[in-house]
Amino acid sequence: MEILLHICCGPCSIYPVTVLKDKGFLIRGFFFNPNIHPFLELERRIIALETVSNVLDFPVIWDTQYGLKDWLDTLDGKLDFNDRCLPCYAIRLEETAKMAVKLGIKTISTTLLYSKYQRHDKILEIGNKSAFQHGLEFYYEDFRQGWQKGIEASLELGIYRQPYCGCIFSEAERYSKRMNRLMKRLEKKNNFLENPRMKEA
Ligand code: SF4
């Protein structure tokens, strides 16, 4: 059976692709992630997935746009973690469903189901909804059970492993402690502004 597998990145694709192949699925990957910023990060993740698709021998359909603006338009100013992730899943799975219809593929799924850091139940709910609206099946499996195997395989391949989810907001959250330390250090440097002698000068 053919499946259109939405792929968020190379490391997250290894375990699901291996499992689906073992189950006899004919896989076509679909890289559509307007949520990945900045551009150099997107480029690194694309190169990592190119390596995985060559090694595991499956084709990938690539989104050829840098979707930052469209992604921000979709969120419409809802940038908090609780607001932004669900539309972020939805635009990616909706686009996957549309692509599957175009290709005549009846089943879709996503490597987002591999991540321990994503909202698994919501991905399932949104995936089912998008598939249903387009007359497709959403293939569900809890790929998180292969978390460690996927990490080890990606380290063996030596591919880029990203330190944050994808959007610029997740990058800021990932480094929030480091950012706070830096800002405090700079605030101390600015203390001379409070020095009365400096004010007189
Ligand atoms: S944290 Fe990840 S899932 Fe959530 S909005 Fe950012 S890129 Fe999308």
Domain ranges of the chain: 2-167
Q: Which residues fall within 8 angstroms of residue 13, CB to CB, at 6 or more apart? A: 5, 7, 29, 49, 52, 53, 56, 111, 114
Please report where in the chains the tokens 């390596």 appear, as a residue.
Answer: 51
Q: What is the pLDDT of residue 195?
A: 64
Residues touching ligand 1 (Cβ under 6 Å) are 35, 84-85, 88, 165-167, 169-170
The reported pTM is 0.91
Pairing outcome for strands 107-110 and 2-6: parallel
State the Cα–Cα distance between residues 98 and 117, nearest whole angstrom: 26
Please report where in the chains the tokens 């150099």 appear, as a residue.
Answer: 40
- Return the DSSP state at 35: T
- Report in angstroms the alpha-carbon separations of 2 from 24, 32, 36, 58, 112: 9, 19, 27, 12, 19
pLDDT tens column, 46-57: 999 999 999 999
Of ligand 1's listed atoms, the one at least distance from the Cα of 165 is: 2
Please report where in the chains the tokens 């380290």 appear, as a residue.
Answer: 155
pLDDT tens column, 121-130: 999 999 999 9
Q: What is the pLDDT of residue 83?
A: 85
Q: How many CB atoms lie within 10 A of CB 141?
A: 14
Q: Which of 137, 62, 151 is nearest to 97 (CA)?
A: 137
In sequence order, which ranges of 57-119 are alpha helices (DSSP H)? 68-75, 81-103
Q: What is the pLDDT of residue 78?
A: 83
Residue to mutate (ligand 1; options 85, 89, 111, 117; most atoms within 8 A of CB): 85
Q: Per residue of the chain (201 residues), give pLDDT as tens.
A: 999 999 999 999 999 999 999 999 999 999 999 999 999 999 999 999 999 999 999 999 999 999 999 999 999 888 887 789 999 999 999 999 999 999 999 999 999 999 999 999 999 999 999 999 999 999 999 999 999 999 999 999 999 999 999 999 999 999 999 999 999 999 998 987 776 665 555
Q: What is the pLDDT of residue 155?
A: 98
Burial class (CB in 10 A: 0-12, 13-18, 19+), 59: exposed
CATH class entry, domain 2-167: alpha beta
